[in-house]
Amino acid sequence: MINRDNNPWRPLPAPNIDWRDGIPVSREFDDVYYSTDNGIAESHYVFLEGSQFLSHSKEKRLTIAEIGFGTGLNCLVALNAWLDQSNQRAPDSTLHYVGFEAQPLTKAQLQRAWEKWPTLSHLATRLIRDWPQATHGCHRLYWPNWNITLDLWWDDAQQAMNDLASRRQRYFNIWLLDGFTPARNESAWSPSIFSTMAALSRKGATFATFTAAGDVRRGLTAAGFTVQKRPGFGVKREALSGQLDTLKETPQASGITPWDLTPKMIPPKKAVIIGAGLAGSFAARALAERGVAVTVLEANAVASGGSSNLQGITYTRPSRRHGVLADFALASYQIATRLYNQLLGTTLVEGVDGQRCGYLQVTEDSETLDYLKQFADCDLPFRVLNAEKASDELGAPLTQDALFFPDASWLHPAAVCHERLSHSRIQLHEFCGNCDFGSSTAGWQINDSLGNRYDSDILVLATANQLTEASETAWLPLQTIRGQTTHVPATESSSGLRTAFCHEGYLAPPRLGIHCLGATYGPQDTALDERPADHRINLQKLASALPSVSFSTTEAAISGHVALRCTTTDYLPVVGPMPNRPAFNACYASLKAKKTRFIDEECPTLPGLFVLAGLGSRGLTAGPLAAEILVSDIMGEPSPVPRYLQQALAPARFLKRGIVRGRPL
C-alpha cells in the first residue's frame, strides 16, 4: 500500500525525450514510445487483436489496465475502437481505462506527439485538454458523453498496482503491457508485476504485449496466465498474448487489516440520497452516470444549508511534505478544476454561475514558498510569483510573493447543485422535511415527513450536521462551524481585479456586480443571525491584506449570509460505508494491544448504508473527488485515490482510532 506520509513533497520529473521524425524517443531507456513503422497499426495489431479486445468490448463494464501509458496511443486507439462498437453493446455500458506511468509527459510533449495522428484528434484534443499535472497519485478524467473513465496513475506501476490489489477486488478484463523494452526497464516486467496482474484480474482476463522475451513469458506463465507466441509487428519477430483461465487463491496478504474496506456487494440499481447540498448532489450525479436510478430527498430547498453561500472558490494549499490533509486537498482540487472547466460555458453560465479566473494566495509561510520555488520549471497546478508578477495577475498592487493557481474558478454553489442534479436518472424531492429510515430485507426503507415511502438498494446520508440525529451515525465526531460572508457592491478600486484573492479570508471577482468576501470562523456557534461585527472583521482582514481595494462600509451598502458548515475533528470528510459500531469494536478489539496487528476479518458494516459529509468550507473543491471515491467503492470500480487517502476518509477511522487509544467509541 502506498504511504507517502511526511515524505518531502516533490513533483515527478519530466522525461528526457529526443524526437526522430516526429516520434518521441526516451533518452534514459534509448527506446521509442511506439513503432517507427506505424504506431496506430501497431496498437491495433499487437494490443487490440492480441488482447481479444473485440470479444471483451461487449462487456457491460469493461476495465482495461496499461503498464506504460506513455503518449496514450494505445489508450486512444482502444477508446476509438470501443466507441465504434456502440451499436453492438448495451447503451449504458462503460469503459474504465487505468494507465500506469512513472514518468508522464508534459502537456507540451504530449501535444507534439499527437501532431502525428490527426485521425484520432477528436480523442487527443480531450486528452490534451485534461492532461494531469506532474503530481503523484491517481488522476481521474471522466468523459460522460462517451461513458469513459480514465484513471492515470502517475506512480511506479508496481506500487500503484499493489495499492489496488490491497483492496481485495478483481477489476480488470484486459492488460496491455507496453513499458520500455525489458532489457532496459526490468522493473516494469518483474515476476511481482505479473503476480499482481493475476491478483487484479477477472476470470478470462487477457493480456497482450509487443515483446516475446523469455523472462516475460516465464514470469507470466508462473503467475497463472496461459501464454502464446504470435508473429510480431514490423521488425519484431514475435509477440506474446494470453489469458487467465483459472483464478488462484490470492493470499490476503497485504497484511493490512481490512477495517476500511467495503464488503463486496452487488452494484445497486436504485439509490436514495438524503440531502441536496453539494455532497448529495455530487453523489447523486456520480451514481446516475453509472446507470443507477437515484432519488434525492431534501428537507428544505436545494443548497439551503452549508452550500448556500453566494460564491465559493476552488481552493487548495500546497505543503512541503506529504500528509493526508495536503494530499487530499491537492488531489481534490485537480479533479474539481477539470470538472468546472468543462461545465463553465456549457451547463454553467459564465459570469453568473461561475468564472474561471484563477486565484492568488498570499501567505506568511515563506519557508513553503521558498521550497516550492525550486519547481518553477515543472508542470504543476500552481506557480510561485514575485510581488510584481502577482500584482499583474491580480490587477491590484501586492507587496509580497504569492502562489498563483490559474485553473481555479469562483462558483455559485446553488447553481452547481442544480446542474449536478439535472440528470434523467435523478428524481429530486424538495421540502420533504426530516426523513426516518431503517433497513429492510430488500435494502433500505425511507419515510419523509409528508408520508411518502421510498424503497432502495442503498441509502447515502449527505445531511451534514444532521447526521448526529440518527442512531446509526450519532457517534461520528462532527462539529459545526458558523461562517458569515459579506456582500458588497463592486467599486472603482475593485473593478480591475482579474483573479480571486485568498488571504486569511477570500475575495471573489464580482457576481452580477456584487463581491462576496469572508468568511468568519465560529466553532460550535449555531446561531444564524447576521452580525455587523462579523462584517467588520471580514472587511478589516481584507483591508489589511489588500489595502488598495476598498468598499463602502455604510450599513446600507453591506449585506451578507450566514451558513453552518459541517466538519470533523480531524478536518477531513467522512466518505464511505457506515460500520456497525458494536460489531466493529468487538471484531478489532485486539488492535488496542498492537495497532499493526493483522486481523483478517471483513469490516462489519450496516449493509447498504453510506455517508458523505464533513466537507467543511471546501465543498466545491472536495465534493467531486469525495463522490467519486464513494461511488467507485459502491460500484466495485478501481478507486481514484491511493488507499491511505481512502482510509483517512473512512467513517470507521474514528472507531479504529478509539480502539487503538484504549477509548472505544
Helix (H), strand (E) at residue 446: strand 443-447
253: confidence class by pLDDT, cuts 50, 70, 90: low
Predicted confidence at residue 358, as pLDDT, reads 97
63 domain-assigned: yes
248: confidence class by pLDDT, cuts 50, 70, 90: confident
Least confident of 67-76, 102-111, 230-239, 638-647: 230-239
pLDDT tens digit sequence for 469-522: 999 999 999 999 999 999 999 999 998 899 999 999 999 999 999 999 989 999
In the chain, the percentage of residues whose pLDDT exceeds 70 is 99
Burial of 631 (0-12, 13-18, 19+ CB in 10 A): buried
Cα 9-177-128 angle, rounded to 5 deg: 55
Q: What are the grid coordinates assigned to 591, written together?
A: 488492535
152 domain-assigned: yes
3-class SS at 131? coil
Q: How many C-beta neighbours within 10 Å does residue 334 have?
A: 23
Predicted confidence at residue 442, as pLDDT, reads 86
Predicted confidence at residue 556, as pLDDT, reads 75
163 domain-assigned: yes
Domain tally, the chain = 1
Predicted confidence at residue 555, as pLDDT, reads 75
Q: What is the CATH number of the domain that holds 232?
A: 3.40.50.150
Predicted confidence at residue 581, as pLDDT, reads 97
Predicted confidence at residue 6, as pLDDT, reads 92
344 domain-assigned: no
Predicted confidence at residue 191, as pLDDT, reads 96
Query: Domain residues for 114?
Result: 38-243
202 domain-assigned: yes
Average confidence (pLDDT) over 131-160? 97
Predicted confidence at residue 254, as pLDDT, reads 66
304 domain-assigned: no
Average confidence (pLDDT) over 72-97? 94
pLDDT tens digit sequence for 18-40: 999 889 999 999 999 988 888 99
197 domain-assigned: yes
Contacts with 625 (C-beta within 8 Å, 6 or more apart), sequence order: 140, 328, 331, 332, 335, 336, 640, 641
Let me know: does 563 contact 589? Beta carbons within 8 Å.
Answer: no
For every residue of 167-188, which 3-state class applies, written as one string?
A: CCCCCEEEEEECCCCCCCCHHH
Average confidence (pLDDT) over 408-419? 98
Predicted confidence at residue 496, as pLDDT, reads 87
* Termini Cα distance of the chain: 27
Predicted confidence at residue 255, as pLDDT, reads 82
Average confidence (pLDDT) over 326-352? 97
Bridge partners for 445 per DSSP = 438, 455
Is the pLDDT reported for residue 251 higher than 70?
no
457 domain-assigned: no
